[in-house]
Amino acid sequence: MIALWIQARWQKRGLFAILMLPLAGLYCLVMMLRRQAYAMGLKASHPLACPVIVVGNLSVGGTGKTPLVIWLAEKLAGAGYKPGIVSRGYGGAASDSPLMVHADTPAEIAGDEPALISRHSGRPVVVCPDRIAAAKLLTSETDCDVIIADDGLQHLRMQRDIEIAVIASDRIAGNGWCLPAGPLRESPSVLGSVDIVITRAAASALTEWQLELEPTGCRRVDGGDEVRPLSAFKGMRVHAVAGIGNPDGFFASLAEAGLDVIEHPFPDHHPYTASDLSFADDLPVIMTEKDAVKCAGFAGPDWWALTVSASVDEGILNEIFMTLEESARGG
């Protein structure tokens, strides 16, 4: 698959990446000038009816952003706020008009990440390529009083009160180069202007905040109620399926738990069909939740989704709540 081939080339400064460097330099310059134009008021950003928390990343690929959005929505709701989420809906088939996502909205329509966020958070989710339009629908049709913009770091048209960047480690992703030579959407210098940086690695010079993802069990992909601990599969040979930005991390977590893993990587947001996962044996299949929301309709009885929970030191909430309170006072 061409997408997986390109992702592999982004991990080193080989021939492909070097050939792409002129385009990467041009892309990086355009992104820098674009950000400066917004900062100088040459391009307009739009205020919204309530505070906005942007959660995004600098690189193409998984950093744990979706579990963090779910965690943040739960913590805000627990503190008395009424959060809502806006997302582009990448991988879905929604039109250019905003779509309100419900727990039963198919991932093929909403996109895999918004569908997962809606089912786990229980909060309203709206998808649209135009995040401003999505936010306006959210605030006009729900009781939302704080917006979480999923993957909105580069969506500068939307004014934000808090920017949170999630990075995979204390090192720059992949080969450290911008698209198309590497996986970076923007220069790492952008992190200097972000309010909060969270890393999947141990706290470092970049940030004191660490995102931890803890496996909580395996639930049936076909919608059945049965849940098993991951340890139930220890020593078993399994098919591991991952269509996410960092499939190697998922495979490694299963191997570390003692499973004998047959790896099946797919491109991020892959639109699965039954033939993609037609294996010539009856071994269990374990996949990410993001993949599972697209496979429920044709899942076998021994297909399982690994559930994970996110956590961050709750000291981070003090910073977030303080900013929200200042915004409410018009500060």
pLDDT at position 206 is: 63
Q: Model-level pTM?
A: 0.92
Beta bridge partners of 127: 87, 99
What is the widest separation between alpha-carbon atoms in the chain? 62
Beta strands in the chain (DSSP E): 52-56, 83-87, 99-101, 125-127, 146-150, 162-167, 196-199, 209-210, 212-220, 227-228, 237-242, 260-265, 285-288, 303-311
Reading the block at residue 258, the tokens are 């003692």
Q: Which 3 state secondary structure label does DSSP give 213?
A: strand
Q: What is the pLDDT of residue 202?
A: 57
**What does pLDDT average to in each consecutive run of 10 residues of the chain (331 residues)?**
86 95 96 95 94 93 87 96 94 80 91 93 94 96 96 93 85 84 92 90 67 92 93 97 90 96 94 95 96 95 95 92 85 55
Q: Which 3 state secondary structure label does DSSP give 13?
A: coil
For 275-315, the pLDDT digits (tens) are 999 999 999 999 999 999 999 999 999 999 999 999 999 89
pLDDT of residue 34: 96
Q: What is the pLDDT of residue 301?
A: 94
pLDDT at 246: 82
Residues 331 and 328: their CA atoms lie apart, in Å, by 7
Residue 180 preceded by cis peptide, ω within 30: yes
Q: Which domains occur in the chain, in start order?
A: 7-210 (3.40.50), 212-311 (no CATH)
Chain centre distance of CA 208: 21
pLDDT in tens, 234-252: 999 999 999 998 888 899 9
Q: How far apart are the first and last CA of the chain?
A: 50
User: How high is the pLDDT of residue 146?
Assistant: 97
Amino acid of residue 290: K
**Residue whose pair of structure tokens reads 């309170």 in the numeric block:** 325
